[in-house]
């Protein structure tokens, strides 16, 4: 992952990612690309001042946007799937028997949970009763993940993989809303999982800053 100052529309040879460091969708895309040993250029956008080049390639104006040759992918899961298909590293292969479950958990994550997470995250601490209500709404999904992790180290098995990458950035964001609560929350297996992935080289590489 190599930070660059712009997309070279004529001469760009390497895969290219428009990204935003803290965006959970962009994090899952970066982690998948790095896990699959794809060497890519990356451009850190400002959400308040999106680059024209990016909007020309993808009208919807969300990150991540991935460009390789003539291909433009502007959905994080499409980027993960493309990385997986390159088969440079089997780390994030999905066992065919798990495909339906993976899809179901990601749909719950990106749909209902993400909506509730945004309500929780963006409700001011001044309205603490409402904020706690939204956190409790999130906890239905949080509890279901915690239960999976009581008997195995990662979401599908004892092996880290695709589903962990897809889900982790959102759970991290959930816990980051209130780090004090994170320390004392009852979801110990999920807390350990978050800490384990947060400490991983893969995650830390994906969070590299533009100026480092
Ligand atoms: N479904 C898209 C969602 C991406 C998304 O919503 N990204 C947010 C940042 S976390 C974004 O770019 N929002 C546009 C904005 O804030 O203007 C994906 O999976 O890539």
Band (pLDDT 50/70/90 cuts) for residue 11 is confident
170 touches ligand 1 (CB under 6 Å): no
Domains along the chain? 2-91 (3.40.30.10), 94-201 (1.20.1050.10)
Average pLDDT over every residue of 95-118: 97
Q: How far is CA 212 from the centre of its chain?
A: 21
In angstroms, what is the span from residue 110 Cα to ligand 1's centroid? 11
Among protein residues, the one with the nearest Cα to ligand 1's atom 8 is 62
Average pLDDT over every residue of 7-33: 95
Q: At what angle do helices 99-108 and 162-176 cross, to 10 degrees?
A: 20
In angstroms, what is the span from residue 66 Cα to ligand 1's centroid? 13
In angstroms, what is the span from residue 25 Cα to ligand 1's centroid? 7
User: How far, in Å, CA of 8 to CA of 20, rounded?
Assistant: 19
pLDDT of residue 89: 86
Q: What is the pLDDT of residues 72-87, one digit of tens each?
A: 999 999 999 999 999 8
Closest ligand 1 atom to 20 CA: 9
Average pLDDT over every residue of 109-114: 98
Checking if the pLDDT of 41 tops 80, the result is yes
């Amino acid at each position: 992952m190599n930070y660059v100052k712009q997309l070279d529309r004529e001469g760009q040879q390497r895969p290219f990612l428009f990204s935003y460091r803290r965006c959970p969708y962009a994090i899952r895309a970066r982690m998948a690309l790095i896990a699959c040993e794809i060497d890519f250029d990356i451009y850190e956008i400002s959400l308040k001042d999106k680059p024209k080049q990016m909007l020309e390639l993808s009208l919807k104006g969300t990150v991540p946007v991935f460009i390789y040759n003539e291909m433009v992918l502007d959905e994080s899961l499409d980027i993960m799937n493309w990385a997986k298909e390159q088969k440079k590293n089997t780390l994030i292969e999905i066992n065919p028997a798990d495909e339906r479950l993976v899809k179901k958990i990601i749909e719950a994550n990106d749909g209902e949970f993400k909506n509730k997470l945004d309500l929780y995250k963006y409700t001011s601490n001044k309205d603490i009763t409402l904020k706690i209500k939204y956190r409790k709404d999130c906890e239905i999904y949080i509890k279901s993940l915690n239960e999976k992790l009581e008997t195995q180290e990662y979401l599908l098995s004892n092996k880290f993989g695709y589903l962990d990458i897809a889900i982790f950035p959102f759970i991290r964001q959930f816990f980051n809303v209130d780090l004090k609560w994170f320390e004392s929350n009852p979801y110990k297996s999920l807390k350990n999982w978050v800490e384990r992935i947060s400490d991983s080289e893969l995650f830390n590489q994906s969070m590299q800053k533009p100026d480092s």
